[in-house]
Structure 1
Amino acid sequence: MSYSIAIDGPAGAGKSTIARQVAKRLGFIYVDTGAMYRAMALYLLRKGIAADDGERISEACKDADITIEYADGEQQVILNGENVNGSIRTEEVGNMASASAANKEVRIKLVELQRNMAAKKNVVMDGRDIGTYVLPEADLKIYLTASSAVRAERRHKELTEKGIECDFDAIERDIIDRDDRDMTREFAPLRQAEDAVLLDSSYMGIEEVIDSIMELFHGKKGE
């Protein structure tokens, strides 16, 4: 029997950090769905396709081969045979990922791979619609959120520490716009699953959030 934990929430809520650490503690595989969508976005950008060109996105995504592999315990996102870990974390790719993720063909292609992984392995998966669409039968569902100001502050700090000049107000506007796109898209929009546990990390430390999820999971298993 395989176990699955779904962690959903808006951009910048800390889903990837939390999911990765929970998976490590449990010895599960962390499936970074956001990285998979970013890899698709990178593929589309390299093809010169605009974010609003739905027809070309639908057609082009069929030729993108995206997989997740592990080497020495480290996740590698493979796009058509190339490790693209170092190319998918830019703002441009992030914005394209949000736009292209609204395309039904893109989502159908990637969801099939994600479900296949969850059927065979113990996984922790994070994204926008894991508990509502990708893994509706997940053993534990978490909806992780934080205020837009807190999320913008985290992103601003991250970019500043990397020596990248950025504007806090612009970052928060981008986050709010991304939330709106994710929540209003027609296909599998971002929302809290009815049976998901809400965790607001605005005033919680990373360890507090991880401990809460671990406690919830062991409670589900009856341990």
Structure 2
Amino acid sequence: MGPTRTTTTHPHRPRRSVLAVAFAPDGRLATGSVDKTVQVWDRQGRLLHTLTGHTDDVTAVAFDTEGRLATGSSDRTVRIWDRQGQLLHTLTGHAGSVMVVAFAPDGRLATGSVDKTVQVWDRQGRLLHTLTGHTGLVMAAAFDADGYLATGSIDMTARIWDRQGRLLHTLTDLTGGVTALEFAADGRLATSTDDGMVQLRFAIGDEADLTAYAESRISVILTPRQRNELGLPLDRRFP
């Protein structure tokens, strides 16, 4: 492991400065901040670009497999940038702050918002689908290798959608608002909720699921109160 590097260019606001980070396949890092900018860094921690244009907090960032960058903001827009930091598209479909952006392997982009919707866009920035059904703000979105989309909301559900934007499943056995989710390479879906629980499910459509308190290899750091409620040592982590 190489030396640790710290980047400090964004103007500092205690506890609130940087809201989103994401790595590109080539090792570049994007950081989005309450200063309304996005900064892109190389593998050595050197600043490559400062991207401007958003008019409010930058709340979400994500790279696609080719190195394009999507940024979402409380200004209700999403911006797509090329590898050189040039603006390609500005997406303006949402009626609320954008909380999450996620690329599919084929270059489609999903954006989730405070307006309770998810929008799916093609590579040219054209709106393909507006996905409705969540009853709370959408905090999480992820595509699997086949292009299926999972979305998570503070409404305590996760939803699975096909490539045509049709709802396949609604997961309603979650124990809190969904704050993050991700597909594993083998198709399993991990969901994290705001009560500290992580659930790991088998392939889409499989009814069986494991929690991080059992055999899951997803690590969960529990608060002292949660560890005490489970009767665990105060320094216990999973797995």
For Structure 1 versus Structure 2, the TM-score category normalised by the shorter chain is: under 0.3
Structure showing the higher helix proportion among its residues? 1
| TM-score computed with the length of structure 1 as normaliser | 0.26
Name the larger-Rg structure.
2
| TM-score computed with the length of structure 2 as normaliser | 0.24
Structure showing the higher strand proportion among its residues? 2
